[in-house]
Amino acid sequence: MAKEIERKFLVTDDTWRQLAEGSLYRQGYIASQGATVRVRIAGNQGYLTIKGPTVNYSRSEFEYPIPLADAQEMLDTLCVRPLIEKTRYKINLNGLVWEVDEFAGANQGLILAEVELTDESQQIELPNWIGEEVSGDPKYYNSYLVKHPFSEW
């Protein structure tokens, strides 16, 4: 079984911007009760992802590449609105890849950083632009942001 171990943080300043270039992501949710079913376009590739419930920092995750046209049709016809629009920046630091998501659209103003780990107890050195940890707070899940956009908080 595929497993994702991830920690999520708020971002405190813009010093991370000099470390990476971003890629546009558009994603939507077909289902988000218990397990989530997500469709994503990242650059020129479509993906279908199924994620189980989060326990501590972990959850099962199954991701499959799908044709771009299929992903676009699913986003247009099957997904809850608003779609999640964001630019993702990947930053390599201290042997880890940090993903900084700068949200647009209904979630503009929200910037989150995530790091995937190999073990829940893995120790990490936090960059100076990392703020409060929000790993266990469901309001920062993308599937929550679809129903409760940051602009409405």
Catalytic residues: 29
DSSP notation for 23-61: EEEEEEEEEEESEEEEEEEETTEEEEEEE---BTTEEEE
List domains and CATH numbers for the chain.
3-152 (2.40.320.10)
pLDDT tens for each residue of the chain, 153 residues long? 588 999 999 999 999 999 999 999 999 999 888 899 999 999 999 999 999 998 889 999 999 999 999 999 999 999 999 999 999 999 999 999 999 999 999 999 999 999 999 999 999 999 999 999 999 899 999 999 999 999 999
Q: What is the pLDDT of residue 16?
A: 97
Q: What is the pLDDT of residue 1?
A: 58
Distinct helix (H) and strand (E) counts, the chain: 2, 9
